[in-house]
Copies of this chain bind each other. A is one copy, B any other.
Amino acid sequence: MIAGHPFGACLPTFGSCADRYCLSGYGGASTMDAMLDLAATVEGLDGLELVGNWHVNDENIRQVGGMLSDRGLKICMLVPDLWTQAKWGRGSLAAPDAPTRQAGIDEVRKVMDWAAELGCPFVDVWPGQDGFDYCFQADYIEAWKWMREGLAACIDHNKQVRVLVEYKLREPRTHCFVNSAAKVLLLLDGLGDAGVLLDVGHSLAAGENVAEAVALLADHGKLDYLHLNDNYRSWDDDMMVGAVHLVEYLELVYWLRRVGYGGWLTLDVFPYREDGVRASTQCREWMEAFFRAVERVGMDEFAAAIERADATEATALVRRALNM
């Protein structure tokens, strides 16, 4: 737990993180059991996020629940794999060809059923391959329509599982269609009972102030789940919490409390050259420090400063919150 919130991590945190140069990865566990064993050593960890086909599939669906529960871990999220295979390279739910779009829908529905079977309340639809790289490569109006139709076809498929959509500005495409908090709200408008997964690093890299994104999503009843990580804004570096954006994280925690967010705080970090267990531990300690920091000043005092819109007072409060 982190300040009363369930604390999760993506399973590959404990595997070997690769980039496009070092395709075999920089080191880490290589089997699912070994990754789970490492995850189980992270103090306070409550659950893991698993990816369809990688970690859950037709062969292991009966075992995977036990593999986690034996280690005292929940499955906090299942992610349909719409992005690790060449077949999704030109898109999934909004691919230019109808068969791929249908395959995307089928994939999401299948993973929804797995989630229901495993008692996991969410699937994370991240349409990372749905976008374009070059000008004159996408029909923006058609693609948007396809994306909405595809989501609509998934949302009601299994009432036990809520579809969450995760937005990102770019990567693996140079431009992704679903690229901001505002755009995901437009996307979901009128589509039914679905929500949003806010990845803090995606928000930062999209040029958003993440606290503002939290407020906007919560104000629309769509803030369901958080991915935590950090970056330098120009790319989704998936660094440890506490690496760069301390003030933004402090404000984020203030707003999470303000809007009454009670959901998961799940790490989505790529500790390429770091030990996954130690990296996860540092992230948890940073998050606890941010919650303590907000507590140190108090919600009311922050609210009063915000109401006065006074930057000098705000920065003094930040310094006090950090105990500097």
A residues near B, CB below 8 A? 17-27, 83-86, 88-90, 96, 128, 132-141, 144, 169-172, 174-175, 177, 180, 182-183, 185-186, 189, 206-207, 209, 211-212, 215-216, 218-219, 231-235, 237, 239-240, 242-244, 246-248, 250-251, 254-255, 270, 272-275, 278-279, 281-282, 285-286, 289-290, 292-293, 302-303, 305-312, 314-319, 322-324
Q: Is the CB of B19 within 8 A of A307?
A: no
Contacts of A219 in B (CB 8 A): 141, 144
Whether B138 and A319, one on each chain, are in contact in the complex, defined by CB atoms closer than 8 angstroms, is no
Instruction: Find chain B residues with CB under 8 A from A175 CB.
Output: 209, 212
Asked if B319 and A172 make an inter-chain contact with CB atoms under 8 angstroms apart, the answer reads no
* CB-based contact A308/B96 at 8 Å: yes
Select A273's contact among B89, B141, B243, B279, beta carbons within 8 Å. Answer: B89
> How many angstroms from the CA of A300 to the CA of B231 in the assembled complex?
28
| Chain B residue nearest to A234 in the complex (CB) | B234
Cα–Cα distance between A85 and B244 once the two chains are bound (Å): 27
Given A272-B89, A306-B137, does the pair A316, B248 have CB atoms closer than 8 Å? no
15 contacts between A and B (CB under 8 A): A18-B23, A19-B171, A21-B128, A22-B172, A27-B89, A132-B309, A170-B232, A185-B186, A242-B315, A244-B247, A275-B312, A281-B312, A286-B319, A322-B322, A323-B323
If A180-B182, A182-B180, A233-B233 touch, whether A311 touches B22 (CB-CB below 8 Å) is no
